[in-house]
């Protein structure tokens, strides 16, 4: 395994103090998966206390203590974020992910220390000194089989977050859960253990599923197998659609295909991609209420405006109001690109759209919706409406931002007007004229203002 020089230096420093450094967890797993990683976890054997470990490390880099109870230190070497800890055992003493008694022990043997880990693939260690892999629970074999297998029943159920970790790992690596692991997760869900977790921890696992998996649908299908699918998603199953537009099946099938399509369209900007992925996941929640079948005809009129399920779902994951405010317009407008294209709408409609939503982001969401089907156009990965709208928006310079107003308060003051409540209505009227294309620049804005003032004066004569 290729080890950065800075990590080798760290290991040598520890050896000078009769301590041994083992790389553990995700970095080792990712090595066998052929995935590059910048996060490295190191367990140090042979050091009795965390304070002694801090003293040894202080000359290498600034040391940040995560928590004495967990015995974890953080340092940064070159471009690597490194968590350094002492071996430990964990005893469950209460509910949730914090309900543990942690006992660090620098003299613990590796097999015992690794027993607390969740899955065999995460229990492999690498002894930097001997360049030898320690694999007491046959994690390498499970990686080769594409299998996620828990290490120990009792320790696994002590942390319900591991249910969601299993889900996102399965989707990210295209792995299968061992039947016993799936059964154990199902039992934990049935016992309502996920309810012990704070929403922040749950959301972190959802983020990994949405941002790191090539096919996030695998994770949601696994949640369904575990009976852990959020109610807003479960409700999509069995909601029929018009086969002309959705030959792929019901709303659930379409939504799963759409989020997989969005995963291929990601921008590589995590914050933006999270908003886009969540918008696609929620885009058809309104169909549950809106779908009607009359005389054999299936409709879901105005489903994009039924936003309560989206609000409810996002609020179960996060308290971030800004996140919800970004998602809602994308859900509400997801049909607009196709509607504008069909109507061959003029520039004013596109300018107005830019005041309601980021058009560049909307086109991506709408494209994912369009590609999440089995129509011939979708199979060919063609979305003419999106290309048309984006080209028009770029020419108008409104693809990412709404137009900046040409007429400002200072212009009104320059024309001798006194600041007051009427300013707002005048500026708003001018902006509407600008969106219509009747005001094209600052000069024409001032000309419009003078005409407006004259009309008002004439009314008062």
Residues 328, 221 share a domain: no
Judge if 254 and 357 occupy the same domain.
yes
Select from 229, 244, 279 the last residue of a domain.
Answer: 229
Q: Are residues 66 and 9 in the same domain?
A: yes
Give a yes or no: residue 72 inside a domain. yes
Question: 203: domain range?
Answer: 160-229
Same domain, 371 and 440: no
Domain assignment of residue 340, yes or no: yes
Instruction: Identify the residue whose tokens are 């965390």.
Output: 50
| Number of domain units in the chain | 4
Tokens of 189: 């869900």
- Judged by DSSP in three states, 370 sits in helix
Domain boundary among 198, 214, 229: 229
Is residue 151 assigned to a domain? no
- 298 in the same domain as 241: yes
Can you tell me the distance from the alpha carbon of 391 to that of 446, in angstroms, rounded to the nearest whole number?
A: 30
- 84 with 211, same domain: the answer is no
Residue 60 phi/psi, 5-degree rounding, is: -90, -40
Choose among 205, 204, 167: nearest CA to 185: 167
Whether 110 maps to a domain, the answer reads yes
Predicted pLDDT of residue 255: 98
Residue 91 has a pLDDT of: 63
> What pLDDT is recorded for position 101?
58
pLDDT of residue 183: 98
Q: Are residues 317 and 391 in the same domain?
A: yes
Does 398 share its domain with 418?
no
Q: Is residue 348 part of a domain?
A: yes
Query: What does the pLDDT look like over 81-118, one tens digit per residue?
Result: 899 988 877 666 566 555 565 677 778 889 999 998 99
Q: Is residue 154 part of a domain?
A: no
The CATH code of the domain that includes 202 is 1.10.110
* 161: Cα separation from own chain's centroid: 17
Shared-domain flag, residues 350 and 263: yes
Residue 226 contacts residue 182 (beta carbons within 8 Å): yes
Same domain, 30 and 122: yes
Flag whether 60 is in a domain. Answer: yes
Strands 125-127 and 20-24: antiparallel
pTM: 0.92
Specify if 150 maps to a domain.
Answer: no
- pLDDT, tens digit, for every residue of 195-208? 999 999 999 999 99
Neighbouring-strand partners of residue 425? none
Low-confidence ranges of the chain (pLDDT < 70): 67-71, 90-102, 461
* Domain C-terminal end among 172, 206, 229: 229
CATH number at residue 14: 3.30.460.10
How far is it, in rounded angstroms, from Cα 290 to Cα 242?
13
Please say whether the beta carbons of 165 and 149 come within 8 A: no
How many Å apart are CA 216 and CA 168, to the nearest integer?
8
Q: Domain check: are 225 and 372 in the same one?
A: no
Q: Do 214 and 237 sit in the same domain of this protein?
A: no
């Amino acid at each position: 395994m290729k080890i950065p020089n800075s990590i080798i230096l760290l290991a040598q420093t520890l050896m000078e103090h009769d301590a041994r450094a083992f790389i553990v967890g995700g970095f080792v797993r990712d090595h066998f998966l052929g995935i590059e990683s910048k996060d490295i976890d190191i367990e140090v054997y042979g050091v009795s206390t965390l304070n002694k470990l801090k003293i040894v490390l202080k000359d290498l880099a600034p040391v940040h203590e995560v928590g004495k109870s967990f015995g974890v230190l953080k340092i940064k070497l070159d471009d690597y974020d490194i968590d350094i800890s002492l071996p430990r055992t964990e005893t469950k003493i209460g509910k949730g992910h914090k309900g543990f008694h942690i006992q660090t022990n620098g003299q613990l043997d590796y097999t015992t220390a690794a027993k607390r880990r969740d899955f065999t693939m995460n229990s492999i260690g690498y002894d930097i000194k001997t360049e030898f892999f320690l694999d007491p629970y046959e994690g390498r074999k499970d990686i080769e089989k594409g299998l996620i297998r828990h290490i120990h029943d009792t320790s696994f159920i002590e942390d319900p977050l591991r249910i969601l970790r299993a889900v996102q790992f399965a989707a990210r690596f295209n792995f299968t859960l061992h039947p016993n692991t799936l059964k154990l997760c199902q039992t934990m869900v049935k016992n309502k253990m996920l309810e012990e977790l704070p929403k922040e921890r749950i959301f972190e696992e959802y983020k990994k599923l949405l941002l790191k998996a090539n096919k996030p649908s695998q994770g949601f299908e696994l949640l369904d197998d575990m009976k852990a699918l959020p109610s807003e998603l479960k409700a999509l199953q069995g909601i029929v659609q018009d086969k002309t537009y959705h030959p792929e099946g019901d709303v659930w099938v379409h939504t799963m295909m759409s989020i997989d399509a969005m995963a291929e369209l990601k921008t590589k900007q995590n914050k933006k991609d999270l908003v886009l992925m969540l918008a696609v996941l929620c885009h058809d929640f309104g169909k549950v209420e809106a779908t009607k079948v009359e005389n054999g005809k299936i409709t879901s009129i105005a489903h994009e405006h039924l936003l309560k399920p989206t609000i409810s779902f996002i609020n179960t994951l996060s308290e971030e109001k800004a996140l919800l405010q970004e998602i809602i317009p994308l859900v509400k407008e997801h049909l607009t690109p196709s509607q504008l294209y069909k109507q061959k709408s003029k520039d004013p409609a596109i300018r107005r759209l830019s005041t309601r939503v980021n058009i560049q982001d909307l086109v991506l969401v709408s494209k994912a919706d369009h590609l999440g089907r089995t129509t011939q156009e979708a199979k060919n990965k063609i979305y003419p409406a999106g290309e048309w709208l984006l080209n028009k928006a770029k020419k108008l310079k409104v693809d990412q931002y709404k137009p900046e107003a040409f007429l400002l308060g200072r212009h009104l003051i320059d024309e001798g007007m006194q600041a007051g409540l009427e300013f707002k209505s005048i500026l708003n009227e001018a902006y509407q004229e600008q969106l219509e294309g009747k005001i094209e620049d600052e000069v024409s804005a001032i000309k419009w203002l003078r005409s407006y003032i004259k009309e008002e004066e004439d009314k008062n004569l």
